[in-house]
Structure 1
Amino acid sequence: MTDAQPNPNAKFKRRIFSGIQPSGNLTLGNYLGALRRFVEKQDEGIETIYCLVDLHAITVWQDPDALRHQTREAAAGFIAAGIDPERSILFNQSQVGGHAELAWLMNCVARMGWMNRMTQWKDKAGKNAEKASLGLFAYPSLMAADILLYHATEVPVGEDQKQHVELTRDIAAKFNHDYKVDFFPQPDSVIEGAATRVMSLRDGTKKMSKSDPSDASRINLTDSPDAIAKKIRKAVTDPEPLPETLEGLEGRAEARNLVNIYAALAGKTPAEVLGEYGGEGFGKFKPALADLAVSVMEPINAEMNRLMQDPAEIDRILGRGAEQADAIARPILEKTYEIMGMVRSR
């Protein structure tokens, strides 16, 4: 920020908030694009709050038993990836009532036109918008409430979620303007790393997704080493060898994706990977990538399996995290009610 553009968040404590839906297997994309960065943020002296957003999950129908299992499995994935409940707050969204309460208040600040412009609403509802839930339409307002409830100043997100953080900034600015206060910060998107957007192993133009019908399109954190190696060996590629420069990856989405994945797993730049493997065919590169992926993912998989043997311990961790989260959220929510003119007499 320059003197002409003062930091609007300077008065607020630096605090990170981010969440992932517990709607199925966490993938390599979740790990490289989110979880690993979450872990690194624990060492940067910033308060970190990580949430399993089960209220977002139910914007489309969820089997209750499956949702419970997926929430615990996602929590296990966070912990196995390195999230330390002693250093970060980890909880599931529905255990902190302030998320739903503030979402309603923000619904009354957000404008319909803003919601209509959300690309994910258009993508998810498509031609069946009339049959989609009201929650699916309004969930960007809930996402804004998730962030604002903690006065978060930084939100690690993928490119596809950046629009929602921009909406959060708009909602915060309108609230502050309408009520003539400087109460909510303007949270910043944090997008970093060589593989913040990991693509499908079957189609390099599509994001790796836990909702893709093809399990071969993704590497799940629950996959065995053999399954990981098999999926990488069968990943779609082209017949050309890897280029020696990044420019040579233009128009080669699948090749670029595998190079980016290798780079992220190895802690290198894509250019460094091409410096090592440029000119080589995928017959050599894929086995190297498979070995690297297994070496990183196998310990996470083993720890997840161990944690899932004790769901009561996972529930205890989530419950304690919810108490910690509520201790931060409740005063902010109460002040929001006060600013908006609600009588608070108990």
Structure 2
Amino acid sequence: MTIGCLIKDLREARGWSQGRLASELNRAFDTNLTREYISRWERSKVAPGPFYLRCLSAVLDVPLAVLEGEVKRRKFLGDAAAGAIAPVVASDLLLTGFAARLRGGPGPDDWEEKLAAYGTEYMSLGAGDIRRRVSGELVVVQQQLDDPRLWSVASRLMTLYAKTFPGSDGSQAVTWYRMAARAADESGDDRARVWVRGRAAIALGYEGASLGVADVLADQAMAISDKPSLGLLNAIMGKAHAAAIRGDRATALSLMEEGLRVFDATGSGEQTSDYAVPWWRMNVFMSLLLARLGEEKRAVEAQEAAHRELPESLPRFATHLEMHRGLMLARAGDRTGGTAYARSALERLPPEKHSLTLRMLMDEIGGDGSP
């Protein structure tokens, strides 16, 4: 199978035109590709070089080894179709689901172990790799929902799936966040009900996407329980980011202070899990919030505090902090310099580590002041 045929099959599996693929590459990596050039790749008139292979790997959520021909490409296509669950439901997903129903599937404790592992892996792995695996897990747990405890598992898996869902602006993830909230309600577990809503709120607020939904989910989380928890902390900080983007400075700062009080009661010492908010991660939240508000001195303090404790194994978060500095430059009036600074930071991060959140942040920095 040629690289051209593989690019075409992967593009069509996402329902993209050649022009759409060119646009996604141009937006993510500041290239200048055209539909005609994509066509030349697919017809094997020209082969993409190492740089474009890395770009394609990131945009199409494909391991670089596949594009370089180091694994069997035809086998990978079946796996990729299963991971995307679009446009055709892959047969191996159906088989997995029925097999899980017949044999009962993992027990609640097994699922909790899986969730803990995904929480750790989310921090360092690419979104595409995790999403493909989580899609299969969702098919399995879907067959086990006679047990209310597994509605809680399903809700957290849906939240992770939403966070890694592809799209140009994050709006496609909203359906999954809402479904996760309904699944958590089915569990009767208030901790899960607060956590999935809070995680969705901070994801949307941080990205600057679907702010109305972020507010609604945050408000719901805060109404379910005012007991300090990481879910409540995420909800408060998500609502703070939404307020900052709307220009409501007083509300944003007030919510940040409330978030710090909740953090003092619930902050986690765990350094590498999506289910934790250690001090360095709280500072990442505050760094962007303060940069959006033009609070340069406090933003720099938050960035420096985060850098001091940020594990070296998490370069994606270091890139976030550098891009926050780019946003500060842009908000201070140097949009060209800020955009260049942020783009340089993003380009230093391997493409397979890029995320929708980083791409949306790049758009915010280089745009008109709003994401």
Q: TM-score range by the shorter chain?
A: under 0.3
When normalised by structure 2's length, the TM-score is: 0.25
Which gives a bigger RCO, structure 1 or 2 (Cα 8 Å, sep 6+)? 1
More helix by share: 2
When normalised by structure 1's length, the TM-score is: 0.26
More strand by share: 1
